[in-house]
Amino acid sequence: MIGPPAFVQAALRFTRGLLGMPLPWRVWLLALVLANFVVPLTMFSDRLEARIVIATFLAGAPP
């Protein structure tokens, strides 16, 4: 039997690592992700750099 691809295994290890963190760390990481998405979207939406950040964020999101 062939296992899942390497990138799936890496994603699972990454997710398990995030879930294994203490709650304050997870909240902090969530705040950082939201800030990196919301601030460019709301404050700098007319600038090219903000559009690149938003496009990168959406491209990296799981399907």
Q: For 24-45, what is each residue's pLDDT tens digit?
A: 999 998 898 888 778 777 887 7
Domain count within the chain: 1
As a whole number of angstroms, the distance between CA 2 and CA 14 comes to 21
Q: For 10-20, what is each residue's pLDDT tens digit?
A: 888 888 888 88
Is 6 inside any structural domain? no
The model's pTM is 0.56
Higher-pLDDT residue of 61 and 52 is 52
Is 12 inside any structural domain? no
Question: Is 63 a residue whose pLDDT tops 80?
Answer: no
Is 62 inside any structural domain? yes
CA angle at residue 58 from 42 to 14, to 5 degrees?
Answer: 120
Question: Is 1 a residue whose pLDDT tops 60?
Answer: no
Is 5 inside any structural domain? no
As a whole number of angstroms, the distance between CA 25 and CA 50 comes to 26
Is 14 inside any structural domain? no
Is 13 inside any structural domain? no
